[in-house]
Chains A and B, each alone.
Chain A
Amino acid sequence: MSLLSVRSLSIRFPVHRGWWRAPSRFVHAVDDVSFDLAAGETVGLVGESGCGKTTLGRAVVRLIAPTAGAIEFGGIDLASLKPGQLRPVRRRLQMIFQDPFGSLNPCLTVGQIIGEALDIHGLARTRTARRARVGALLDHVGLAPADARRYPREFSGGQRQRIGIARALAVEPELIVCDEPVSALDVSVQAQVVNLLHDLQREHGLAYLFIAHDLALIEHLSRRILVMYLGRVVEAGDTKAVCRAPAHPYTQALLSAVPRLDPSANQRRIVLTGEVPSPITPPSGCRFHPRCPMAEPRCRHAVPALGEISSGRWAACHLVGAGNRMAMLECLV
């Protein structure tokens, strides 16, 4: 059974053009997204900026309420919970953020930041227990227990991200939404934090929803991947399989744009024309059609459904469906 189950999730934000007017237009940040995440598993989430990754992540940890659809966590429908009932579930769901500078309160010491998380959920009965727990957590993420007395500004970017991880770990969560946790770090430090997350997962059986725009990083970290475009999942499946042979034209383009270190990695380059259109007025039909090098007339009108093209592999593209049928016909002959 899955730990997290997201069904037909949609999130819209009203666009206010002046406070006196009722909103007449909406940002369709997340549109009809469904996926499952098992305990101890990592699912990677990629896509260009603005495609709705953070919004989806925030909805999963209940920082924002969905417009439509359901999120089930550990068998509990989050939408059905009253505010008072939310807290025990919140404890099991944590989030770490991209910006290790903005996400920590600069006026609190590291000990207070982590201790606060413990207090909210009543996890340390005495001051001594609290101090011991904070020290142990800091040690766990590669900092010194004495660092509890210092302030966030005294730490480097990588160390601050470790503090954020310690704060998330403090409440012993089962799922952590990692929203681009290493994007702002130096390359040499990024690997340290990624390794830490990897080790913590094995030790505590944590599940991660790992958001990144770096496909190579996602391939490294997660067994399954979701590729989003303009609020929708366009491809999903086993990460290695998707990266080796992407089915959706968008995934193909995204992969081909990743600069490679290995000069012998002979890649076919697909340079997309144009940019991501506005999510306020998303294109009709397939949302990718204006930039798709393979678009056909029907792509402008008909919305492609996310269909299973092979076992565990899903894509939302009219052409992939057709190709798949062709392949199946050949098999029958």
Chain B
Amino acid sequence: MPGGALKTERQAGDSRVLEIEDLRIEFETGAQAVPVLDGVSLDIGSGETVCLVGESGSGKTVTALAIARLLPCPPARYAGGRILVNGRDVLRMSARELRTIRGRVVSYVFQDPAVALNPVLRAGAQVRETLALHRPEAAHNDEVISLLRWVGIPAPELRIRDYPHQLSGGMQQRLMLAMALASHPRLLVADEPTTALDVTIQAQILELLRALRRQLNMSVLLITHNLGLVGEIADRVVVLYAGQIIEEAPARELLSRPRHPYTRALMKSVPELGRDAPRLDAIPGSVPRLGDWPAGCRFHPRCPMARPDCSREAPALASVAPHQRVRCRFWDHAP
């Protein structure tokens, strides 16, 4: 059960696994640098699950990769801010220090298993390789098989001999999860791990994530464009739009009372079972492209509540309640 506001409060005093402060990232395209992330701040407590939500191009994957400094530089450039993992700034670490973080403290699972899996290595060998890197004492077949069993791969003693292409999408995702968990990480960053999967398999993976997180007291940063997953797994939600956080709230709070006009519009545009309406509430226009961010509030050209000021003054991300921040000056006005 996601604990909602209660859990968030309790954990505020605990040690934070991840603290991102005012992170700015740019991409160099030709002569000029285009901002991609514009002052993103977010933190994750121990054992907490945070959902990072946003439509394509909003900067979710860039945020995820930045945590272990995995962005290729160039074209990417860390233009400002800090990323503290277990209290230490990743952006100031040496290559050697980074290796002690990557895959060991922070592990990744991606939407496309092809990125992470080696196509010419059997499933068992891939997991063993990861173990050899992070827990050499456990790099043997017994541990590999028990890891595969743990993530719900049936008949693991047989599956270890399969190549990735012989496994289904759901099984590849589980294999990737087994590799990510082999090191017993403190933070799992899962970037759209279920987007390519059917809802039935998605439900299996989410259930698995919930169980694993309990067993390991692991923190999870789950990245998704699907708001529906928030209610399934998140303690807290951070909504990203055009490189900025526009709303942050405990999961239940966000789902029952979204404050930002974008969050509200996004929730209304999703078809819901049992809702009776001949037309969906679409958001006019489209997500602004990189380098094409509108002045003032970046959502104003599409916002049903926009006022003349909105195109001039960029709103700040303001605290509106404990644990709740909104980047809109008119958040408390009726829509």
Contact = CB atoms under 8 A, between A and B. Distances in A.
Interface in A200-231: 213-217, 219-220
Interface residues of A, number: 43
B256 interface: yes
Given A158-B286, A220-B271, A48 B198 contact: yes
Interface stretch (A9-17, A103-111, A183-191, A295-303): A183-191
A214 B282 CA distance: 17
B294 to A, nearest CB: 15
A35 to B, nearest CB: 22
B309 interface: no
Interface in B187-239: 198-204, 207, 225-232
Given A220-B280, A275-B168, A275-B171, A243 B227 contact: no
Contacts of B171: 275
A132 to B, nearest CB: 27
Given A260-B272, A275-B171, A269 B227 contact: no
Interface string B150-171: 0000100000000000001011
Contact of A194 (B274, B280, B284): B280
A259 B232 contact: yes
A111 to B, nearest CB: 22
B120 interface: no
Contact of A259 (B228, B269, B271): B228
A195 B16 CA distance: 44
B200 A257 contact: yes
A48 B252 contact: no
Contact of A255 (B226, B265, B273): B273
Nearest to B277: A220
A48 B203 CA distance: 13
Contact of A188 (B201, B230, B269): B269
Nearest to B279: A195
A219 B201 contact: no
Contact of B200 (A158, A198, A254): A254
Interface in B108-127: none
Contact of B273 (A159, A187, A191, A258): A258
A186 B225 contact: yes
B55 A261 contact: no
Q: Which of A49, A189, A194, A261 neighbours the largest number of chain B CB atoms within 10 Å of its CB? A: A261
Contacts of A274: 154
B280 A191 contact: yes
A306 B298 CA distance: 53
B303 to A, nearest CB: 12
A260 B266 contact: no
A84 interface: no
Given A259-B231, A261-B227, A191 B282 contact: yes
A263 B252 contact: yes
A305 interface: no
A156 interface: yes
B272 A262 contact: yes
B49 to A, nearest CB: 15
B231 A186 contact: no
A260 B199 contact: no
B56 interface: yes
Nearest to B280: A191
A129 interface: no
B316 interface: no
Contacts of A2: none
B306 interface: no
B255 A262 contact: yes
Given A254-B200, A275-B168, A261 B228 contact: yes
Interface of B: 55-56, 154, 168, 170-171, 198-204, 207, 225-232, 252, 255-256, 265-267, 269-275, 277-284, 286-287, 302
13 contacts: A186-B287, A187-B226, A187-B227, A187-B270, A191-B282, A213-B198, A220-B275, A257-B202, A259-B202, A269-B203, A273-B204, A274-B154, A276-B198
